[in-house]
């Protein structure tokens, strides 16, 4: 997995820091081993994914001195060697996350984990009964983590075509044609496999009208929110026609925000800026187990 997030922001109000970084880039690279287990009786038709972080490293760059940079890299480093489990329902949506407590900020980490795990499920949001080449469909998922209520991520997807899966495992060559290597043994080589290529466009929309744009969680803590939050993105997925699993997904996105948070003590913080993200998740063959 490769994730890159660029944040360009300005802050004013009770936490104003004129010397703080206005531009921050975080690069995270990780290798994760996944095991599929049966879910408990409370999730009929679901599964559990046990993920072991074999490698996890991050770098942080900013346009000014950032005292929190070392802490951020240490938090991602703490993931290495950790085991985290996700429970997915029959529709492929993440229902619960366990094992992440004490590693990094629980809520933010759990949300990030849900996002990348959700990318591996091609069935989430797809029409019942399967799809065919040329078909289009849409789905919505509440944007509960944002400080503005009533928003949802809308995904408009299209099944473009079938082609060879990308990326293929570079360590295992595909079977050559007879004219090239007629004596090649099929041991430890893989045939070329086909994938469905799906293009998904994401946009942040108002899913419902709300009188108060403050999310319930903020309201409970005596904070009121006001302002706007926009976002868009695009994903390209390669889905195995044999297994139905996502072989790879590349995603880019941009969010713009201009939000003011006001506490019940009449203190406020104004937060404005842009967040750009780029991610790639690729499924690779486990040569040790022949999978």
The bridge status of strand 223-240 relative to strand 194-206 is antiparallel
141 and 68 in a common domain:
no
276 and 142 in a common domain:
yes
Q: What is the pLDDT of residue 190?
A: 44
Residue 162 maps to a domain: yes
210 and 141 in a common domain:
yes
In angstroms, the CA 18 to CA 253 distance is 28
Q: What is the pLDDT of residue 21?
A: 54
Residue 270 maps to a domain: yes
Residue 109 maps to a domain: yes
Q: Indicate the residue among 81, 102, 121 that finishes a domain.
A: 121
135 and 74 in a common domain:
no
Residue 9 maps to a domain: no
Residue 66 maps to a domain: yes
234 and 140 in a common domain:
yes
Residue 217 maps to a domain: yes
Q: What is the pLDDT of residue 224?
A: 93
Domains contained in the chain, number: 2
The per-residue pLDDT for range 83-140, each reduced to its tens digit, is: 888 888 877 677 777 877 666 554 555 565 656 565 555 555 677 777 899 999 998 8
Residues of the chain with pLDDT under 70: 13-21, 92, 101-125, 167-192, 285-291
Q: Indicate the residue among 82, 98, 121 that finishes a domain.
A: 121
247 and 149 in a common domain:
yes
135 and 115 in a common domain:
no
Residue 245 maps to a domain: yes
135 and 114 in a common domain:
no
Q: What is the pLDDT of residue 226?
A: 93
H-only helix segments in the chain: 69-77, 106-119, 216-220
Tell me the whole-structure pTM to 2 decimals: 0.73
Q: Are 113 and 84 in contact (CB under 8 A)?
A: yes
Residue 214 maps to a domain: yes
116 and 154 in a common domain:
no
Q: What is the dihedral of CA 92, 96, 99, 101, to 10 degrees?
A: 130
Rounded-to-5 percentages of helix, strand, coil across the chain: 10, 50, 40
140 and 60 in a common domain:
no
Q: Give the range of the structural domain holding residue 201, as residue numbers without chain letter.
A: 130-169+190-291
Q: Are 221 and 107 in contact (CB under 8 A)?
A: no
46 and 146 in a common domain:
no
Q: What is the pLDDT of residue 74?
A: 85
């Amino acid at each position: 997995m490769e994730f890159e997030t660029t944040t360009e922001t300005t802050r004013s109000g009770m936490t104003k820091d004129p010397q703080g970084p206005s531009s921050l880039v975080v690069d995270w690279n990780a290798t994760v081993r996944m095991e599929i287990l049966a879910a408990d009786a409370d999730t009929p038709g679901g599964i559990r994914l046990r993920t072991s972080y074999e490698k996890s490293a991050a770098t942080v760059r900013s346009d000014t001195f950032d005292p929190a940079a070392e802490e951020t890299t240490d938090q991602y480093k703490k993931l290495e060697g950790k085991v985290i489990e996700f429970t997915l329902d029959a529709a492929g949506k993440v229902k619960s996350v366990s094992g992440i407590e004490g590693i990094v900020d629980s809520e933010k980490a759990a949300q990030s984990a849900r996002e990348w795990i959700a990318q591996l499920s091609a069935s989430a949001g797809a029409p019942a009964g399967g799809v065919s080449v040329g078909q289009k469909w849409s789905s919505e998922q509440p944007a509960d983590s944002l400080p503005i209520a009533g928003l949802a991520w809308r995904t408009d997807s299209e099944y473009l075509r079938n082609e060879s899966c990308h990326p293929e495992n570079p360590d295992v060559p595909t079977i050559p044609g007879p004219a090239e290597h007629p004596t090649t043994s099929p041991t430890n080589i893989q045939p070329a496999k086909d994938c469905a290529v799906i293009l998904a466009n994401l946009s942040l929309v108002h899913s419902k009208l709300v009188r108060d744009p403050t999310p319930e969680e903020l309201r409970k803590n005596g904070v009121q929110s006001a302002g706007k939050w926009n976002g868009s993105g695009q994903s390209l997925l390669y889905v195995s026609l044999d297994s139905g699993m996502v072989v790879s997904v590349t995603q880019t996105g941009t969010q713009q925000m201009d939000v003011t948070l006001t506490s019940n003590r009449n203190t406020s913080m104004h937060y404005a800026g842009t967040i750009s993200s780029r991610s790639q998740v690729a499924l690779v063959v486990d040569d040790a187990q022949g999978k």
